[in-house]
Structure 1
Amino acid sequence: MRKGMVREQFQSPESSEEHFTRLRASISTILGMKKLPIDSTEWESYFDESGQLCKSRDYVAAQILDRGLDPTVRPEAWKFLTGYYSWCSSCDDRLMADSRKRKSYESLCTVCEKIQPLLETEHRGFMEVQNLIKSDVQRLYVRDAQGNTLVDKSQLEKILLLNYMCNVEAEYQQGFHEMLLLFRLLAEKEHEIYWLFQFFLQKTENSCIMNIGVEKNLFMLRALIAFLDPVFAKHLEEKGQVVPALFPWFCLFFQRVFKSFDDVWRLWEVFLTGLPCRNFQVIVAYTILQTVRDQIIKEDMSGDDILMLCNNIIDLDADELISKACTTYELFLKNNNKVPKELQEFFSEPQK
């Protein structure tokens, strides 16, 4: 048996010109004919007999950007994408990593159970959040087409409350319950759901959290519109605070603009790859806004009408949106020598 010793492959420092060339090459693959997603057979071929990756992480990420993952592959692949598993781990390493995360989760639960009575009596805001979580989760529809219950709502409440108690940066915000449901549909074990959600927030740099990532995204979106489409930017400015009011797109990471959960997962796994650039969610938001640009200008819509139009975007196709967003980024790269300071972060390396 061959014992693979493959480790994560990092590229050596490169010039700006080489960086742009590499990105253009990666993006160009997604602009052609739609391809079949990575299925279980292909995914397994990426690993050797010991379970170690025998392709580069960059190769796998580019394939995910280009084609996406088959639903049967997502539960395992997302563990690599979020950092739940290391890309350079073996099967044995992953068994140990899962055991450690299970024990860590159980310890967190034990500690939180002990301090919860104190928080309920001494922290007025805690009870408000607890009630809000319960109310949000109870409104979720969690049955399949035959009426069978898909998930345990009490489990979602527990994980959301634990997330609130343990994550000092990200207080509970409405919408987390909808996001967590998608992680529950990917994983069944409670500790896996909790850690996948935690690592997803970290990997995407808290981009969906108000007062952290959302405000930054809105600032960059406004700057991107002004850079790529100054006529549209001027029109929006004349209609009031339109761009800041688009915060629901980022808070839910575009969950409500798609036809199905599969589309949401498809976009989110692209975000997790870090390709084609850092802060790709801003490019995506700009691309969505461009789909209604001409109508907004032609009809000279008011700010309220623009927001109503944007809120009614609910049936996008993820593959088409990703392709268009990559085209937008291509246009952005062609003007890289004119990019203002507030948009330079598109060229910085995402989290590994």
Structure 2
Amino acid sequence: MWRDPGVPADSFYEIRPECTDVPISRFKIKAGKTLSARKWHAAFTTEGYLDIGKTLRRIYRGGVHPSIRGEVWEFLLGCYDPKSTFEERDQIRQRRRMQYATWKEECRQLFPLVGSGRFITAPVISEDGQPIQEPLVLSETNSAEGLAVLPQDNNWPSSLNAASNVETVADKRVVQWLLTLHQIGLDVVRTDRTLVFYEKQENLAKLWDVLALYAWIDKDVGYGQGMSDLCSPMIILLDDEADAFWCFERLMRRLRGNFRCTNNSVGVEAQLSNLASITQVIDPKLHKHLEHLGGGGYLFAFRMLMVLFRREFSFCDSLFLWEMMWALEYDPDLFLMYEEPQSATKKTEGPKGKAKSIHQCGKYERANMRNGTKNSEAPLPISIFLAASVLKDKSAELLHEARGLDDVVKILNDTTGNLDAKKACSGAMKLHKKYLRKAKKQ
């Protein structure tokens, strides 16, 4: 029987020609499986209501066509309610764009380079609020090296003072924000540097602006390394900067706990602890071996969970993985949970008066609902079972070859670019089912 081999999706995310060691994507665009533009548009009624259940099934079967990925992600991440109309969504979009413009102007008043098409990779202020004179300001990108060319901006000291009104910044929140801006810049020039998209200065600046703005409005978490990896796809997929920001903001509502740090702990430690508990239940022999090696804290899986496997998969495959995870986890009440208070009173019933159905939920979410985990505590994200699936696949190798934590890290690093996103999600679902069954018995 003839099978459609599919069309490679790499061509939608052009790699710079000098980057010859980039993993080739396993994601193939397959007719009849991948959610196409035609199928996507056909899933809406004339008023704009989306058949989310059928859409989720299609995404899990074959992912999303790159040409519509941005707008599909807005629904998967809860930016828009599938039960809303085209007109209602347009109103929400315009309101959010206005809010973004307001915040951006607020940040520009504090720091004039916001929105200028440029950004910084050197500190502009000391921890005690003193402006650092003559900082290096990024104005161009050397496409051959992917590194910043950093000339002096002669107008900089006066513009900083004008924005601050005084030479010393007294507001601790402003000082903290200004201190993060150069770190954001350093991360921006390192993020997805193999892509032709980021050869353009304007795209680098857009990524910096979105991250700088998020750091300003999220008073508790601010900015943390790894956020640039999560935000970059939004910048690539959504043309409007404000729309990219809101898509990233919705993703951060799920993941911001990973970046919440105290003097004693890092936010992602809770997920690492959950990963240890899951592995102990489904593969006690492996868990015991890892503990014996001193890896009982599972810090070797830190990067996987922190940036949602962006480094374990090729760029294209990581996007495929994300959308499958979000489709599996999808809860139709996402919009109501995430929307602003003044809009959360919106009707919770669909166009025909039907309340939320289990068939409108993702497969993973349905499993949690059936097992009652939704009624007790927040269910574990599927990403933890995905990490457990990677460990399970490498179990024999880890048991026989790992004699120390360095070996564990090396074995897991060897998976980079060699993982199959669809297989990984299937493995995560099987482990989730097995874990729930064994956990009940225990």
Report how far residue 199 of structure 1 moved.
Answer: 0.7
Match of residue 259 from structure 2: 209
1-side partners of 2:248 and 2:276: how far apart? 28
Kindly report the root-mean-square deviation, in angstroms, between the aligned alpha carbons of the 2 structures: 2.7
Write the letter of the residue equivalent to 1:101: R
Q: Compare 232-241 and 145-154 and name the one that shifted more.
A: 145-154
How has the CA–CA distance of structure 1 residues 160 and 301 changed in structure 2, closer, same or farther, with 3 Å as cutoff? same
Write the letter of the residue equivalent to 1:248: R
Is the 8 Å Cα contact of residues 175 and 251 (structure 1) preserved in structure 2?
yes
Q: Secondary structure at the match of 1:89?
A: coil
1-side partners of 2:197 and 2:247: how far apart? 28
Q: Which runs of 5+ in 2 are unaligned?
A: 1-29, 112-162, 330-361, 366-378
2:414 aligned to 312, 318, 322, which one? 312
Q: Deviations over 1:99-128 (max 9, x none)?
A: 111101011112223345449823454343
Match of residue 344 from structure 1: none
1-side partners of 2:321 and 2:202: how far apart? 23
Write the letter of the residue equivalent to 1:224: I
Q: Deviations over 1:304-338 (max 9, x none)?
A: 21122223321112112112222222322433522
2-side partners of 1:253 and 1:332: how far apart? 21
Match of residue 232 from structure 1: 286
Match of residue 164 from structure 1: 215
Match of residue 221 from structure 1: 275
Aligned residues: 303
**TM alignment of 1:24-103, pairs within 5 A:** 36-53=33-50, 55=51, 57-103=52-98
How has the CA–CA distance of structure 1 residues 34 and 229 changed in structure 2, closer, same or farther, with 3 Å as cutoff? farther
Is the 8 Å Cα contact of residues 206 and 235 (structure 2) preserved in structure 1?
no
2-side partners of 1:98 and 1:126: how far apart? 27
Q: Secondary structure at the match of 1:79?
A: helix
Match of residue 430 from structure 2: 327
Write the letter of the residue equivalent to 1:209: F
How has the CA–CA distance of structure 1 residues 129 and 320 changed in structure 2, closer, same or farther, with 3 Å as cutoff? same
1:121 aligned to 154, 169, 188, which one? 169
Is the 8 Å Cα contact of residues 33 and 58 (structure 2) preserved in structure 1?
no
Report how far residue 210 of structure 1 moved.
Answer: 4.7
Bigger-Rg structure (1/2): 2
Q: Deviations over 1:160-194 (max 9, x none)?
A: 11111111232211121222111111111110111
Q: Secondary structure at the match of 2:58?
A: helix
TM-score, normalization: structure 2? Answer: 0.63
How has the CA–CA distance of structure 1 residues 84 and 207 changed in structure 2, closer, same or farther, with 3 Å as cutoff? same
2:441 aligned to 338, 348, 352, which one? 338
Write the letter of the residue equivalent to 1:103: M
Report how far residue 141 of structure 1 moved.
Answer: 4.9
**TM alignment of 1:148-159, pairs within 5 A:** 149=200, 152-159=203-210
How has the CA–CA distance of structure 1 residues 36 and 61 changed in structure 2, closer, same or farther, with 3 Å as cutoff? closer
How has the CA–CA distance of structure 1 residues 189 and 146 changed in structure 2, closer, same or farther, with 3 Å as cutoff? closer
2-side partners of 1:50 and 1:305: how far apart? 57
Report how far residue 298 of structure 1 moved.
Answer: 1.0
Q: Secondary structure at the match of 1:324?
A: helix
Match of residue 232 from structure 2: 181
Match of residue 398 from structure 2: 296
**TM alignment of 1:243-282, pairs within 5 A:** 243-258=298-313, 260-273=314-327, 274=329, 275=362, 276-277=364-365, 278=379, 279-282=381-384
Q: Which runs of 5+ in 1 are unaligned?
A: 1-32, 340-352
